[in-house]
Structure formats: structure tokens, C-alpha cells
């Protein structure tokens, strides 16, 4: 599977995972959906159309652009994830400092370049909501130069890596609006 391009991977998921579950899907806790694979400029126009957004059962948070050829699993620098500029979330391990009588802040840990969790330079205000989440993986959103708790993640056992965190902060400093994304894709389509 890891040697196949994205179209063949999607076909595999449809055939081997989604199709066998069709009859029992209503009894399951979650569902799997695959949005049809389109060329980038066609897809973005269609998916950013308000009519599509209204008809889709989930809010659209981001798009992921995969290369049609030469896609590789793990870190692939040809993959682009675009998210609305105000929706940059990151997963951290939340740790409440030990040895402090009444801590006011919790520490945030990420996955470092040495494949070990390391402390991020910034902290998060310690609220009653997160006081019992010591050691848990949590999603945070960066708002007004502060990390704010969003939710606990039950589906992850490690935090985001340093590169992902740096990319999300870069996206906040240099946001790509919907209009800029569409214009860039239209320009690309014109010359390719």
C-alpha cells in the first residue's frame, strides 16, 4: 500500500474497508467518508462553494493536497495541508509542573527531532477544565499569543512533532486566505 499513489490508495480503502462495512455502518460509533479525488483547482472551487459546504455533513476545516505521482508515506514535502487561518490547532502532551504548590500554568510537550518528547517554550493557563488532564494529549489553539485548550484527544498517544508545530505557527503569521488559495490554484492550472 505504501508504494501506491494516492488514487490507488483511495481505491484500496473503498474496496477493502468502506465497502465491507456498508451494511453495518448504522450500528457503528463512527463512519468513514471519502470525498472524491479531484484535480486541485477543480476540487478547491467545488469544495469552497457555499452550496457544497451546506450539503456536506461536517464543517470543512482543511484541505490536503497530495501529489498525483511519487507520493510517499511518512514525511512528504510535496503534501500541502491548507486550513482556515484562524483554525490552527496542535496536539501537545499537557503536564502539570511537580513541586509547585499551586501551579497557575501547565507545560506543553511536543515530539522533538530526537524522537523524544520535549518541552515547548510556552505554557497554557491551568484552568479547572484541564487540571485533571495531567499527562494527556490535548488539542490547543493559538489565540492572541497564548495556547488555549480545545479538547482532550483520545485517538492519539503522542503529541505533534516540532516541525508540525512550527508549520502551524508559520501559517498563523503568514495566513493563506481562501481567495489567495483559489487564485494560486487557478494560476497553476493556467500554466500546467
Q: Report the 10 Å Cβ neighbour count for 44.
A: 20
**Bridging pattern class, strands 105-111 and 117-125:** antiparallel
Q: Is residue 1 part of a domain?
A: no
CB 86 within 8 A of CB 69: no
Residues 158 and 95 in one domain: yes
CA 157, CA 91: separation in Å to the nearest integer? 10
> What pLDDT score was predicted for residue 175?
85
At residue 2, the pLDDT reads 73
Cβ–Cβ under 8 Å, residues 123 and 133:
no
Please report the pLDDT score of residue 96 as a whole number: 95
Instruction: Determine how many CB atoms are found less than 10 A away from the CB of residue 131.
Output: 12
Asked if 57 and 118 sit in the same domain, the reply is no
User: pLDDT tens for residues 102-126?
Assistant: 899 999 999 987 778 999 989 999 9
Number of domains in the chain: 2
Query: Is residue 94 domain-shared with residue 169, that is, in the same domain?
Result: yes
Same domain (yes/no): 27, 53:
yes
| 8 Å CB contact between 136 and 152 | yes
- pLDDT (tens digit, 9 = 90+) per residue, 122-168? 999 999 999 999 999 999 998 888 899 999 999 999 999 998 888 88
* pLDDT tier for residue 6 given thresholds of 50, 70 and 90: confident
Question: Where in the sequence is the domain holding 103, given as residue range(s)?
Answer: 89-173
pLDDT at 44: 66
Q: Average of pLDDT values for 74-90?
A: 75
Q: What are phi and psi of 26, to 5 degrees?
A: -70, -20
C-alpha cell at 103: 501551579
pTM: predicted TM-score of the whole model, two decimal places? 0.67
Q: Kindly give, in sequence order, each residue whose CB lies less than 8 Å from that of residue 86, ignoring residues fewer than 6 positions away.
A: none
Q: What pLDDT was estimated at residue 30? A: 67
pLDDT of residue 36: 66
Angle in degrees, 0-180, between the axes of helices 178-191 and 40-48, rounded to the nearest 10: 150
pLDDT of 114 reads: 78
Residue 87 contacts by C-beta under 8 Å, 6 or more apart in sequence?
61, 62, 141
pLDDT tens string 11-62: 898 898 888 877 766 666 666 777 666 677 676 667 777 777 777 767 777 7
Quick one: 63 and 130 in the same domain?
no
Amino acid at each position: 500500500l505504501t508504494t501506491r499513489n494516492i488514487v490507488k490508495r483511495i481505491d484500496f480503502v473503498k474496496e477493502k474497508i468502506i465497502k465491507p462495512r456498508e451494511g453495518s455502518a448504522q450500528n457503528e460509533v463512527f463512519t468513514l467518508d471519502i470525498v472524491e479525488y479531484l484535480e486541485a483547482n477543480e476540487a478547491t472551487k467545488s469544495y469552497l462553494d457555499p452550496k457544497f459546504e451546506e450539503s456536506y455533513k461536517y464543517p470543512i476545516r482543511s484541505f490536503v493536497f497530495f501529489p498525483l505521482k511519487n507520493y510517499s508515506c511518512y514525511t512528504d514535502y510535496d503534501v500541502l495541508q491548507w486550513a482556515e487561518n484562524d483554525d490552527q490547532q496542535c496536539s501537545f502532551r499537557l503536564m502539570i509542573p511537580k513541586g509547585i504548590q499551586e501551579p497557575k500554568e501547565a507545560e506543553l510537550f511536543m515530539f522533538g527531532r530526537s524522537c523524544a518528547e520535549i518541552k515547548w517554550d510556552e505554557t497554557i493557563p491551568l484552568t479547572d477544565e484541564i487540571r485533571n488532564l495531567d499527562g494527556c494529549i490535548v488539542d490547543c489553539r493559538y489565540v492572541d499569543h497564548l495556547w488555549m485548550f480545545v479538547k482532550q484527544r483520545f485517538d492519539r498517544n503522542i503529541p505533534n512533532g516540532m516541525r508540525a508545530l512550527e508549520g502551524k505557527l508559520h501559517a498563523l503569521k503568514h495566513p493563506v486566505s481562501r481567495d489567495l488559495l483559489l487564485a494560486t490554484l487557478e494560476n497553476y492550472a493556467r500554466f500546467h
